[in-house]
Structure 1
């Protein structure tokens, strides 16, 4: 598959019109394939296999150098690296190098107006502030385009992308412990489960900081159902499954010193994670419009990248592309 032209893939239209579930059953000849398909799509994208286009799933695999690499915790695998102090550290360090008077936080954009010719774009925010500029870069997920009023209106393809791409359900609950009891028992801290709210766990400790933790991930439809519970019930269900799994190997599991919870679907500027997902029929019809500019407005975000889509690598590549587009446009204006 050519990542720059996925609709040129043999049988692209047919495969794009199938769900990943249908594709796996069709190719394997067995309904048992659905369980594996769900595990893959929910683990990587937070959606069940019946929600995502088969062609988009294959595209996502190739974008990340193959399914084995996407699932790998080994060196160079998609799950290999973490940032010691959290990924927000990167943004904060970059912000430190900028003039603080040029950074505006907590000011959601409500409208982007552009006029013909060399007239500046006018960006308005929720608090009534207004900014004039020659070019605008939009980095929000496609499903949030509809939260901004564009003048002139977005092309039909962008509307379709905004209305029909979906965000997966992804959440995490981090148990922080006094000591790494699982390591003392020679366990990895990894759970992969097909039942209960937890789909998988990972050891997210930082030994140099004497920080010992296991992060539990709740994803897909199981995660969505769990999300509707009260905070106390969410904790109880996760902790019960956690103890049931590790209790087979460790007699006394200590209570965590602290518990941290994050649900991206309840964050108004995300509404899910890790990136917008294409439902059947989108990739071969409007997929090529993802990164297309709209006049003086440019679109970035990891979902627009052809390489490592859905990951930070993809986000950085998309940002570089968008910046290059703006620099070139300003030089030509």
Structure 2
């Protein structure tokens, strides 16, 4: 392998290692990357946590435009809605690739800026087919499709039996997904359904879905892709160690900054716990009397 090829592979290898190997990160078995799903969706976790906080603790639809720690002793956070907040510490949890959308005062050090300028998320769309009944399970099928032809690259059974909810989620990713996304919506969905019904139709009669859901993460302004920001060749070697490094009173978290389960929700949670612990430790140190 050439040096350049090695640099390209480095992030991929680190990604695999953080999830205990490629077989584990794609596994539906216990402790595998695809093992657990939240019954009512991941947003439920945020909503339930917010309910435990004091009123007016969570502010929505206020994208941060600037973080100013130039005055010393505190930070001022400015938002798109014109509202500002003063605090002693800030935790930034947006993807590294979006740091450039925030004006930092003083500016981020060179290492952090290099990470932001040379990190990107991939193309990632989900199309979910909801059915009246689990026809694939009745036929003894797993609901898993793997293809290199596209536009669907792979599928997973995302049913919730206790709720009588039966669905298969299709993932349209990479260049094939990106090219597919440029088509009109009706054509996109027709192509996806033709591939889906043709593939499973080799083994069983495939009924029409009762509902079809589409989610294109690249069109979400605060994500611009999924599932995880990756660095361009050479960047990880040079400044990768600065992914989780605080800058003054600003701390950085995110799934890409986790040592375990990078790119997964588990990694995001672990990173958040690490960032929270950093802030608590810093605040306690500030409150200690100095002699």
Task: Provide the C-alpha distance between the structure 1 equivalents of 2:127 and 2:43, rounded to a whole number of angstroms.
Answer: 18
Aligned residues: 286
Residue pair 2:27, 2:35 contacting (<8 A) in 1 also: yes
Task: Provide the C-alpha distance between the structure 1 equivalents of 2:221 and 2:18, rounded to a whole number of angstroms.
Answer: 28
Q: SS where residue 234 of structure 1 aligns?
A: helix
2:246 alignment partner in structure 1 = 293
Q: SS where residue 172 of structure 1 aligns?
A: strand
1:10 alignment partner in structure 2 = none
* 1:106 corresponds to 2:92: no
1:323 alignment partner in structure 2 = 276
Q: SS where residue 260 of structure 1 aligns?
A: strand
**TM superposition score normalised by structure 2:** 0.95
* 1:169 corresponds to 2:169: no
**TM superposition score normalised by structure 1:** 0.83
1:41 alignment partner in structure 2 = none
1:304 alignment partner in structure 2 = 257
Output aligned runs, 1:151-190, within 5 Å.
Answer: 151-190=105-144
Q: SS where residue 261 of structure 1 aligns?
A: strand
Output aligned runs, 1:219-258, within 5 Å.
Answer: 219-250=173-204, 252-258=205-211
C-alpha displacement at 1:55, in angstroms? 1.1
1:95 alignment partner in structure 2 = 50
* 1:18 corresponds to 2:4: yes
Instruction: Give the unaligned 5+ runs of structure 1.
Output: 1-13, 24-51
Query: In the TM superposition, what whole-angstrom CA distance separates every residue of 1:218-245 from its partner, at most 9, and x where no partner exists?
Result: 0111111111111111100100001110
2:39 alignment partner in structure 1 = 84
Task: Provide the C-alpha distance between the structure 2 equivalents of 1:283 and 1:244, rounded to a whole number of angstroms.
Answer: 42
* 1:122 corresponds to 2:76: yes
C-alpha displacement at 1:115, in angstroms? 2.6
Q: SS where residue 56 of structure 2 aligns?
A: helix
Residue pair 2:181, 2:188 contacting (<8 A) in 1 also: yes
Task: Provide the C-alpha distance between the structure 1 equivalents of 2:206 and 2:22, rounded to a whole number of angstroms.
Answer: 34
The alignment yields a C-alpha RMSD, in angstroms, of 1.4
Q: SS where residue 37 of structure 2 aligns?
A: coil
Residue pair 2:19, 2:262 contacting (<8 A) in 1 also: yes
Task: Provide the C-alpha distance between the structure 2 equivalents of 1:253 and 1:318, rounded to a whole number of angstroms.
Answer: 42
Which of 5, 9, 12 is 1:57 aligned to? Answer: 12
Query: In the TM superposition, what whole-angstrom CA distance separates every residue of 1:105-145 from its partner, at most 9, and x where no partner exists?
Result: 00000000013542x21100001111000011000001100
1:272 alignment partner in structure 2 = 225
Residue pair 1:53, 1:278 contacting (<8 A) in 2 also: no
Task: Provide the C-alpha distance between the structure 2 equivalents of 1:228 and 1:100, rounded to a whole number of angstroms.
Answer: 43
